[in-house]
Amino acid sequence: MSAPPLPLVLAGARGHGRWHLENIRRLQQAGLVRLVGICELDPLTGAELDGVGEPAQSSDFAGLLDATGAAVAVICTPIPTHADLAVAAAARGVHLLLEKPPAPSYADFRRITDAVDAAGVVCQVGFQSLGSHAVPAVRALVADGVIGEPMGVGAAGAWARDEAYYRRAPWAGRRRMDGVDVVDGVLTNPLAHAVATALAVDGSTRADDVTRVDTELFRANAIESDDTSFVGITTARGGRVGVAATLCAERPDEPYVIVHGTRGRITFWYKQDRVLVQRAGHGPEEVLHGRTDLLENLVGHLAGRAELLVPPASTGAFMKVVESIRRAPDPRPLPVEAWRSVPGEHEGVRRRIVHGIDGLVAASADTLCGYAELGTFWALPDQLPDQPPVQPSDQPPVSRPASPRAASHSPTAETPPR
């Protein structure tokens, strides 16, 4: 006999939460879950609840869990609330799908992991790209020596967000609010998948896999947090992961991860599950992979049918990056000559574009260099503060591997488009 559907509560059903609501509707129709509660400040309307029945609604998350007897909770609320809600769910024996980033600080991340471990509940972190079947496929290609010896992993994200994006919520674009960490920057929230996916492809996912994180944080918009940034990550194996991203792109495009090797490269467009292999002596090979939904995977894991794809421990390296960004000096505002203002997506709303940023982000992914090393005038080395290692106590300096520039192909029709 099939197991009865798991009773589920969704915390945060608007904004990105609408995607979760739609996914829950799909899984409810498949008989895997049953939506018994929605935690929102303003109740959802009948039209919004079409196809999911009449779940209880309340702004009291803990009370809703108690009243409904939920077995699973999906948390898609503002970043600063994640830890408190996750701890409250764990204390009630409720399993979790926790939206990324799991927490705004490493201390809050530890609160979550300690609570989950103590309660014996299961927690899945919502990095949907890590459900892509392309991640293990790329790692297998690298392990098989398809592109020779690995030389490093780069990632590029060139997106655009207008001023309305930073007005969507009081915490948007903030580093802290009312004394509480938020850390809503380009690499910690909208393009957090670029960081997490690059680390996963490199095989450096746990906290101990990261020994140093160097940050270059900038902002073109009138916000607290960063909208144009680079992180250079040194791994415990002495490898290099570089991630460059912006929300001020000239022509927004799909983000991607590149694995550089001595005899080629692998490009992974992680939102599309698309992989391109380019190597010496072979024509380009492109494969489109499938993807496992993380909530469906969590349900399958609880039923003993599947291995959990994104447990908290596998996001420890990502949280080391978040912590380094949190502890870094506040992002430097870009000089006015570095950007221009153009009409945004919404009437009467503007957005800012950083001159040449699309090419800089792509060049960073190709070379693993930050903006300063690429010679960008607004990121001159003598203006960047010294930054300590993530674990400065007894970790020796790790030399950086040679740039993979020589392994990169010249721009041709085979080169990934930007």
The pLDDT assigned to 346 comes to: 84
Q: Which residue has the tokens 């009138």?
A: 222
Among 111, 129, 147, the domain boundary falls at 129
Note whether 143 and 77 are same-domain residues. Answer: no
Note whether 125 and 213 are same-domain residues. Answer: no
Note whether 103 and 86 are same-domain residues. Answer: yes
Asked whether 262 and 151 are in contact (CB, 8 A), the reply is yes
**265 falls within a domain:** yes
Give CA–CA dist 72/122, Å, rounded: 9
Note whether 118 and 235 are same-domain residues. Answer: no
Asked whether 195 and 321 are in contact (CB, 8 A), the reply is yes
Give CA–CA dist 229/214, Å, rounded: 11
The pLDDT assigned to 415 comes to: 29
Six token digits for residue 347: 């009437």
Among 110, 129, 148, the domain boundary falls at 129
pLDDT digits (tens, 9 = 90+) for 304-353: 999 999 999 999 999 999 999 999 999 999 999 999 999 998 889 999 99
∠220-226-228 over CA atoms, to 5°? 60
CATH, residue 68: 3.40.50.720
Note whether 245 and 125 are same-domain residues. Answer: no
Note whether 47 and 184 are same-domain residues. Answer: no
Note whether 111 and 140 are same-domain residues. Answer: no
Q: What is the pTM (predicted TM-score) of this model?
A: 0.90
**279 falls within a domain:** yes
**154 falls within a domain:** yes
Note whether 139 and 125 are same-domain residues. Answer: no
**214 falls within a domain:** yes
- Give the 3-state DSSP-derived string for the chain, with helices as H, strands as E and coil as C: CCCCCEEEEEECCCCCHHHHHHHHHHHHHCCCEEEEEEECCCCCCCCCCCCCCCCEEECCHHHHHHHHCCCEEEECCCHHHHHHHHHHHHHCCCEEEEECCCCCCHHHHHHHHHHHHHHCCCEEEECHHHHECHHHHHHHHHHCCCCCCEEEEEEEEECECCHHHHHCCCCCCCCEECCEECCCCCCCCCCHHHHHHHHHHHCCCCHHHEEEEEEEEEECCCCCCCCEEEEEEEECCCCEEEEEEECECCCCCCCEEEEEECCEEEEEECCCCEEEEEECCCCCEEEECCECCHHHHHHHHHCCCCCCCCCHHHHHHHHHHHHHHHHCCCCEECCHHHEEEEECCCCCCEEEEECCHHHHHHHHHHHCCCCCCCCCHHHCHHHCCCCCCCCCCCCCCCCCCCCHHHHCCCCCCCCCCC
**309 falls within a domain:** no
The pLDDT assigned to 34 comes to: 98
Note whether 215 and 272 are same-domain residues. Answer: yes
Could you tell me which of 191, 185, 195 has the C-alpha nearest to residue 232? 195
The b/e string for 332-356 (b: 16+ C-beta within 10 A; e otherwise) is bebeeebbeeeebeeeeeebbbbbe
Pairing of strands 264-269, 256-261: antiparallel
Note whether 72 and 164 are same-domain residues. Answer: no
Could you tell me which of 161, 165, 162 has the C-alpha nearest to residue 349? 162
**413 falls within a domain:** no
Note whether 115 and 164 are same-domain residues. Answer: no
pLDDT digits (tens, 9 = 90+) for 365-392: 999 999 999 999 999 866 544 444 444 3
The pLDDT assigned to 2 comes to: 75
CATH, residue 246: 3.30.360.10
pLDDT digits (tens, 9 = 90+) for 271-302: 999 999 999 999 999 999 999 999 999 999 99
Number of domains in the chain: 2
Q: Which residue has the tokens 């471990």?
A: 117
The pLDDT assigned to 31 comes to: 96
Give CA–CA dist 368/390, Å, rounded: 19
Mean pLDDT by 10 residues, the chain (418 residues): 90 96 97 98 94 96 98 98 98 98 98 98 98 98 98 98 95 96 98 98 98 98 98 97 98 98 98 97 97 98 97 98 98 97 92 98 98 95 49 32 33 29
Give CA–CA dist 310/294, Å, rounded: 8
Among 78, 100, 129, the domain boundary falls at 129
The pLDDT assigned to 1 comes to: 58
**295 falls within a domain:** no
**300 falls within a domain:** no
Note whether 88 and 180 are same-domain residues. Answer: no
Which residues are CB-contacts of 36 (< 8 A; sequence separation ≥ 6)?
Answer: 7, 8, 9, 55, 56, 68, 69, 70
Which residues are CB-contacts of 298 (< 8 A; sequence separation ≥ 6)?
Answer: 72, 95, 97, 122, 124, 308
The residue range of the domain holding 186 is 134-290+320-407
